[in-house]
């Protein structure tokens, strides 16, 4: 294992120390667990709070998106491991400004269980909570079993839209509704070229030959839909778009935001090669692209690979997407 670290046991805590030291204008550590990141300045009284949580290893998701117009707090676990229910409850308390808290996170069993338990814990604090799960990975289950799908980079869009609604003063029911609307309108798919190494494991999460790739692999190394020889960029992008558009058709007059996302090791140059195909496919179908995002927005340690995410917009979602936000990793307005 070649990694720049001290000890695997200290990896996450030292990363969080560095994150808040580098960006004290955005982030602070909250509570005694050392695993909750909150806004440097709490949201105003009466604003709906938004929290997320999940395992480390995916920066900027999850903690990076704490900021104005985005999340209020986030609980973070070990690499690829869920935070505890107590840590999630601490994040909810940090986010609460008296108007309730939306729990907005990906559809993974440990996260669901612990956030449910966290909701029970904060009932004693009279904090009302709602939940929206992201289940945007089209490769992880068929449309008729969408509730089984994994949540991946679609969370980025959901954080942005829900955060804008909360910042605008909407109440908890309204913020929850628009977050669910965004979750229902987003689809993602990924492709991996290499594995990553979890520090505590000390070895690659999975094995893949130098001349192979896997279509549809999950961000924790979950199996994809096929593994075969590495294909040219245009062929990879073409199949990924085929899978997304089969699940959520896009046609004349539609407005769509698109995220071409590095899973960690893929450089920007290769992302732009892929974006050519994405843009041509969407515009060829008669759609207009709104606020395209190309870069590292949701990673899997040092995995080489890419994910595509499409968000189909209406007037409400587009307005919230364009609203200002500010964190260390993304600024709008």
Q: Could you report the per-residue pLDDT of 142-164, keeping only the tens digit for each?
A: 999 999 999 999 999 999 999 99
In this prediction, residues 222-248 reach a mean pLDDT of 97
Q: What are the tens digits of pLDDT across the range 37-59? A: 999 998 899 999 999 999 999 99
Q: Which residues pair with 38 in a beta bridge?
A: 28, 73
* Beta strands, E only, the chain: 27-29, 36-39, 49-56, 73-79, 101-106, 129-134, 186-192, 212-215, 226-229, 255-262, 288-289, 293-295, 305-313, 325-326, 331-332
Q: Alpha carbon of 234 to those of 81, 281, 297, 307: distances in Å?
A: 34, 11, 22, 14
Q: What are the tens digits of pLDDT across the range 3-18? A: 999 999 999 999 999 9
Q: Could you give phi then psi for residue 239, rounded to 5 degrees?
A: -70, -40
Q: Alpha carbon of 12 to those of 17, 57, 101, 258: distances in Å?
A: 9, 9, 26, 30
Mean confidence (pLDDT) of the chain: 97
Nearest-10 Cα torsion for 34, 36, 39, 44: -120
Q: What are the tens digits of pLDDT across the range 72-131? A: 999 999 999 999 999 999 999 999 999 999 999 999 999 999 999 999 999 989 999 999
Q: What is the pLDDT of residue 294?
A: 98
pTM of the predicted structure, to 2 decimals: 0.97
Number of residues written out for the chain = 333
**Alpha carbon distance 84, 200 (integer Å):** 18
Give the pair of three-digit tokens for residue 258.
């698109």
Q: What is the pLDDT of residue 271?
A: 98
**Alpha carbon distance 192, 204 (integer Å):** 13
Q: Residue 300 above 90 pLDDT?
A: yes
In this prediction, residues 230-256 reach a mean pLDDT of 98
Burial of residue 262, with CB atoms counted within 10 A of its CB: 0-12 exposed, 13-18 middle, 19 or more buried: buried
Burial of residue 219, with CB atoms counted within 10 A of its CB: 0-12 exposed, 13-18 middle, 19 or more buried: buried
Residue ranges of domains in the chain, CATH in brackets: 13-184+322-332 (3.40.50.10440), 186-314 (3.30.1180.20)
Q: Alpha carbon of 67 to those of 50, 77, 217, 220, 227: distances in Å?
A: 10, 19, 30, 26, 38
Which residues have a Cβ under 8 Å from the Cβ of 123 and sit 6 or more positions away?
A: none
Active site amino acids? 58, 220
């Amino acid at each position: 294992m070649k990694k720049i670290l001290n000890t695997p046991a200290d990896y996450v805590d030292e990363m969080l120390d560095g994150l808040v030291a580098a960006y004290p204008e955005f982030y602070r550590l909250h509570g005694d667990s050392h695993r909750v990141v909150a806004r440097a300045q709490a949201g105003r009284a009466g604003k709906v709070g938004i929290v997320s949580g999940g395992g480390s290893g995916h920066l900027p998701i999850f903690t990076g998106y704490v900021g104005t117009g985005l999340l209020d707090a986030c609980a973070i676990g070990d690499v690829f491991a869920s935070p505890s229910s107590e840590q999630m409850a601490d994040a909810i308390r940090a986010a609460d400004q008296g108007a309730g808290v939306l729990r907005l996170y990906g559809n993974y069993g440990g996260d669901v269980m612990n956030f449910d338990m966290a909701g029970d814990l904060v009932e004693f604090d009279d904090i009302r909570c709602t939940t929206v799960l992201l289940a945007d990975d089209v490769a992880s289950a068929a449309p008729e079993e969408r509730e089984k799908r994994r949540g991946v980079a679609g969370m980025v869009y959901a954080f942005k839209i829900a955060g804008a609604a909360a910042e605008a003063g909407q109440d908890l029911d309204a913020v929850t509704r628009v977050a669910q609307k965004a979750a229902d309108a987003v689809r993602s798919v990924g492709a991996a070229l290499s594995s990553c190494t979890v520090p505590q494991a000390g070895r690659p999460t999975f094995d893949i030959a130098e001349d192979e790739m896997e279509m549809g692999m999950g961000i924790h190394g979950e199996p994809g839909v096929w593994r075969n020889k590495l294909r040219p960029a245009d062929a990879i992008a073409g199949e990924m778009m085929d899978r997304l558009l089969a699940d959520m058709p896009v046609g004349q007059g539609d407005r769509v935001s698109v995220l071409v996302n590095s899973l960690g090791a893929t450089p920007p140059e290769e992302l732009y090669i892929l974006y050519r195909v994405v843009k041509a496919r969407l515009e060829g179908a008669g759609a207009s692209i709104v606020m395209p995002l190309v870069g590292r927005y949701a990673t899997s340690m040092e995995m080489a690979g890419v994910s595509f995410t499409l968000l189909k917009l209406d007037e409400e979602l587009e307005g919230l997407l364009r609203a200002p936000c500010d964190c260390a990793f993304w600024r709008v307005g």
